Amino acid sequence: MSTKPKNIILGISAGIAAYRMYDLVNELKKQGHNVTVVLTKDAKNFVSELPLKVLSGNPVYSEMFCPKEQNKPIHIDLADNADLVLVAPATADIIAKMATGICDELITNILLATTAPVYLAPAMNTNMWDHFTTQKNIETLVTKIGYKIIAPEEGDLACGYSGVGHIAPNERIIKTILLGENEVRPLLGKKVIITAGGTREAIDPVRYIGNKSSGKMGIAIADAAYNLGADVVLISTVYAEKKYQVIEVETAQELQEVIEAEFDKADALIMAAAVSDYKPMKTSKQKIKKKNEDLTLELIKNPDILEILGRTKREKQIIVGFSAESEEMEKNAKEKLVKKKIDMIVANDITVPDLGFGSDENAVIILTKDGQRECLQRQPKIQIAKHICQKLAELFLSIKEAKEV
């Protein structure tokens, strides 16, 4: 696998799968990567420093306070220079520490200090893996912190059990960290409908009432949801060739019909499309000819799709709306959130030049019905899309938790 050489921190925690890290370090080194091993204190019961030092060609660290003279504290130095951090094997203990921010080891300090992507390859007894607290910690790390989990496999475990808990094979770990594959897919099994683009309401065969929406935001959300494992249906006014289902529509009425046909089977709807609030009362079959007088078009109201679905949705279904505002953005968005009875709204100010409509970037405020507020500064729409999908995953989680209580 040829990828640009990377500075990789490998944190090894105390599990029997630690012995596999000799081969992993060797393979990454062979592929041209610079691996620095950091051992937890207890990991030394399973692997020795010397072979890891020889195989990596680098010092092996485990102590917070290194005698070696250096400009920065060791955890900051290692954290700052990392292109990625891998913790393998990641035990239930280190997962719990990461989820709560406990820093009693060099590697947990590095994890808090680094801004590099973090991958975990958990390995443990199957009951420990299945335990509510481990699963909750994993969810926190994935949905709140953005860590990527290289899921353990099923097999015969060293503890004598048989089940899930076997560390992923080295080949899969390497592929995941080098190709940046996100193996955790919090939207797996969820059917998510996303709408994109701006509807067009025909006046005659050549003219229509439309808006400036390019569909970029909705399509970015559909991609992000697909990457997080969702079964995506994109309903779009702009053509898009994707690995998931895309249904092309033009008018608000078509959009409504397709959504209504799909919504019953869906777990969530993200309504990023800019829907025309009005349409011409009549659509002329022929091109309207120019005359010597002014022309008045009579418009009738389109139904508010979001409001209809917000009223009729099942308790477990999640609806996310958008709010395009030119004034009093947050106040208006809040009103829409309440009026349309939806779960979350993404508001953007359409008056900011080079942002929003047609642009690859956006800046938004996200509000949820339970009072959460997040402000995402100017950034690529794909980042915003990922964030919205992570928030969606959190909403699914909170519904699940509420049900369990």
Q: Site residues (CB under 6 A) for ligand CTP?
A: 252, 271, 273-275, 277, 302, 304-306, 321-324, 336
At closest approach, how far in Å is the CB of 336 from ligand CTP? 5
Residue 126, Cβ neighbours under 10 Å: how many? 18
Q: How far, in Å, CA of 28 to CA of 30, rounded? A: 5
Q: Which amino acid is at 175?
A: K
DSSP 185: -
At closest approach, how far in Å is the CB of 380 from ligand CTP? 21
Q: How far, in Å, CA of 92 to CA of 69, rounded? A: 34
Q: How far, in Å, CA of 390 to CA of 393, rounded? A: 5
State the Cα torsion 132-133-139-141 to the nearest 10°. Answer: -160
Nearer to ligand CTP, 275 or 364 (CB): 275
At closest approach, how far in Å is the CB of 225 from ligand CTP? 16
159 is known as an active-site residue:
yes
Nearer to ligand CTP, 90 or 222 (CB): 222
Nearer to ligand CTP, 63 or 335 (CB): 335
CB 168 within 8 A of CB 153: yes
239 token code pair: 């053509």
Nearer to ligand CTP, 285 or 314 (CB): 314
At closest approach, how far in Å is the CB of 307 from ligand CTP? 7
At closest approach, how far in Å is the CB of 374 from ligand CTP? 17
State the Cα torsion 17-21-27-30 to the nearest 10°. Answer: 180
The catalytically annotated residue of 103, 159, 375, 389 is 159
Nearer to ligand CTP, 313 or 336 (CB): 336
What residues contact residue 187 under an 8 Å CB cut-off, 6+ apart? 225, 228, 229, 230, 389, 392, 393, 396
Give strand pairing partners of 246. Answer: 234
Catalytic site positions: 159
